[in-house]
A and B are shown apart, each in its own frame.
Chain A
Amino acid sequence: MIRATWARTVYELRIFSRDRRSVFFTIVLPIMLLVIFGSIFGQTKLGHGVRFSQYFVAGMLASAILYSSFQQLAIMIPEERSNGTLKRIKGSPLPPAAYFAGKFFATVLVYVVQAAGLFIIGASAYHVQLPHGMGWINFVWISLLGLLASALLGIAFSSLARDGRAASALASPVLLFLQFSSGVYMVFTTLPHWMQHVGALFPLKWLAQSMRGVFLPAVFAQNEVGHSFGYGETALVLTAWVLVGGLWCWRRFAWVPLDQA
């Protein structure tokens, strides 16, 4: 099982690196957005000597979690279902768990590259202060739990589309809506209330909020809903999504093309 998972992880990364479209959308796009927003608002001060870029990099990391796990899996799996990859795996002795674990570990490594890119560009060009001490520990658990919840949601979402092209058309607007309603591009508390309520149902709002906890000084907690970065709530909401997504994948995952089932 460990050997098979390792082999799948290496294979997934090799294939990912050969697919220019995936590399662009998951690694280059968040960095590009950081450069665009950093260039426009980078000098804007939020008080207490904190620049907008510091606020924004937390949102971009939360988005990067969704790009590398949710988006990547929600599009790749329907593609692999329609082209026969999943059917072939199902007919082989590969344990299904090794397929999913391989995808997840590849996702984690892609995220590490994304985050490193955001840190390096952010720190060198836009005065972003990197976390320190407990900040790193929070960063790691938020990232891992967020990646797991989003990956499971991506796998569940993959059941809705017949192939990669349809999946791409379905996933992109969902992702865009979540980014706006979760306070990635704008300060969350300035959003209309209904949008805040919708955003609060999904992982991204909590990822963005707790990432702000990692990157912003403690006094900024006053600006959040409930005057807290909400680590506890974040852990609860993400764990709930892990359970919902996991249950869906376990019960409903389809290995054969949807038109053959």
Chain B
Amino acid sequence: MNVVSVQNLTRRYGDVLAVNDLSFTVAAGECVAMLGPNGAGKSTTIEILEGYRHRDGGSVEVLGVDPARATRAWRSRVGIVPQGASDMTDATVRDAISLFAALYPHPRAVDETIDLVGLTAQRDTRLGRLSGGQRRRVDVALGIVGRPELLFLDEPTTGFDPEARHVFWDVIAQLRADGTTIMLTTHYLDEADQLADRVIVVAGGRKVADTTPADLGSRHGNSVRVSWREGETRRDELTTEPTRVVRDLLTRFDGEIPGLEISRMTLEEAYLKLVEEAS
């Protein structure tokens, strides 16, 4: 069953097509990451799905409802972690989460939610006095306190230190184990790799890939990067025949090839290549 279903979605700002004929689906229980450079149309798409923005064309269904006609009942089934909120600075963590917990029919217990995002020690601290990463975890707590069936996360870990990101990833893993469907946007390839069953890559408002992280990584014909040193400069070559490249190098160097490294193309490299080709 599809929780999200998008067909031929379009949205323009003036003359610019921010979202251009985008179609995709998200199945129940899936975790899908939307990747793309700044201005690719990720946030516009997510905000149309969340019911914040209108669309110019195409059809959208989220939990069986057109988000442009969102009802309160629908809102209580959808969790949203928006980008760049700095609200409720004078409220404590507990105040803020209790205030929103009371709006849902079957909320998670407030202390349990605070514990889940790792803010138990800060529960009586005002939001204005939290660090950036702690503040972001409050946003996540507010997104999940209503036990949503579908959770939207818009760049959830921007500004996190590596440890905080791993804590966050554990939270998401737990939500997934409970059956929550998750749709996130991110700039971090390792995050998509870690969390998502599927990645949708968008560039210039168009979908350029819709596949598993593993497949995206191996998309360029299982490309391998062979790199070596020539004098002071580092050279590299992307190839599907690494053995041939090494054989050629052996004929050019006497004995050891200086600084030889052979590595499989990373997800990040595959992604950058894909986005570069699309634009």
Contacts and interface: CB of A to CB of B under 8 A. Distances in A.
Contacts of A87: 52, 82, 85
B80 interface: yes
B69 interface: no
A225 interface: no
Contact of A88 (B76, B87, B90): B87
Nearest to B85: A84
Contacts of A256: 52-53
B51 interface: yes
Contacts of B100: 92
Interface in A132-180: none
B86 interface: yes
Contacts, number: 63
Contacts of A18: 90, 126
B90 A19 contact: yes
Interface size class of B (residues with CB under 8 A): 20 to 34
Contacts of B76: 93
Contacts of A255: 52
A189 interface: no
A83 B99 contact: no
A90 B52 contact: yes
Interface of A: 3-4, 7-8, 11, 14-15, 18-19, 80, 83-85, 87-88, 90-95, 255-256
Interface of B: 50-53, 72-73, 75-76, 78, 80, 82, 84-91, 95, 99-100, 102-104, 126, 142, 146
Given A14-B95, A80-B87, A92-B103, 18 more contacts: A3-B102, A4-B103, A7-B99, A7-B102, A8-B99, A14-B91, A15-B91, A18-B90, A18-B126, A84-B82, A84-B84, A84-B87, A85-B85, A91-B50, A91-B80, A93-B73, A93-B75, A93-B104
29 contacts: A3-B102, A7-B99, A7-B102, A11-B91, A11-B95, A15-B88, A18-B126, A80-B87, A83-B86, A83-B89, A84-B86, A84-B87, A85-B87, A87-B52, A87-B85, A88-B82, A88-B142, A91-B52, A91-B78, A91-B82, A92-B80, A92-B146, A93-B72, A93-B73, A93-B75, A93-B146, A94-B103, A256-B52, A256-B53
